[in-house]
Structure 1
Amino acid sequence: MRKAFRSSMPRFLHKMKGSIAFSRCISTIYALDFAIFGYKNKDIGCNKLPGAKDMSKVTTTHHAPEFKHVSEMEWEMGRFKNKTKFLFHPTPERPTEPNAGILNYEPGASFPLHKHDFAQVWYILEGEFQFGDKVYKPGTFAFMQDPHFEYEMKTETGGKIVFLQYPGPTTGARPIYAGRMNLKADEVKTYTTADLER
């Protein structure tokens, strides 16, 4: 591993070989691997890096990843008459779980200027969306720190956006799922001013 690493080193490192600067540079690379990824010495081919982490018990002390496919869930309705699939969402048993899933907007859909105390990240999968006076297309990420407002939105094309709403690191406010993102078609009502305040 070490031989392979050195053979692929940039030229400026080859010129430094044997120097104190070279040793420090290599040690820094190994230290960063350890600090970021928790690699053991044997994992990175280094015999001299002290304090390598033992990851053998991590499966008993940390939560395992959870995986869900969008096909595992039926479409529901959101408060702005958009279709929703929040595969992960807060529950009484897991109140800090994020709202994570896809919102599907029909052509001509819109929502008004409103605000939230939680934080969120969006990713546009399909369609074009106008927020305020700018239009955003597929491949666009949006980050909204807590607390934040959302511009009035309009879409002529319709489209899909990946939503990730999570408790605000600053406010501690949690995203809302029940009664907002999991409605049936006949439960969707005209929103009120109070609905735009949270």
Structure 2
Amino acid sequence: MNLLALDSRWRRLHDPEWISPKSGRSFGGLIDIGYDHPDPWPHGDLAECGQDVLEVGADKLSADLCRCDGMRFVRAMLALPINGSDEAVQFAIWVHVGDADFYRYLEDATGETPGFAGCAAWLMNDIPGFESDTPFEGQLIPGGADERPTFEANDGPLKQAQAEGISFEALLDLYAATGNDIRADLTG
């Protein structure tokens, strides 16, 4: 049994027919969180430029790949399980990888040379509650067909959260910190 099913806010979050009397919003499940670009990218949002690729000099950003100031980045997924449920909130994040690993990943993604086995990677977005002065080191793990790779932290509080999960309250705090405070919407 999903223990969170006892929480009326959890039930409202998952009920697509429930409409918040405060805002008129409905949710139908967890809300994934995405980052448009790696934090070091200084040239604005891809979503706002109205193009598939944003190029500024030698720097280049697409929905899945980025080159900035000589560094290479790959879009990946990071999951944080929610305690008391069988679900996880998904983050679409950016990781920095070495040049050789970037090109190996690209060759696999294009089908030129399949078999990318993963590589060392560094998280390049600050996740609220897991901010750090230095990027979290981890592993970029290949995804299945038509899936983004995943990032797993090697150590520290992010690794602990990936392994042990976060509370529903922590999830609501994450939503609020990323500009989507839904706490008032989930109360009756």
Band the TM-score falls in, shorter-chain normalisation:
under 0.3
Bigger radius of gyration? 1
In the superposition, the TM-score normalised over structure 1's length comes to 0.21
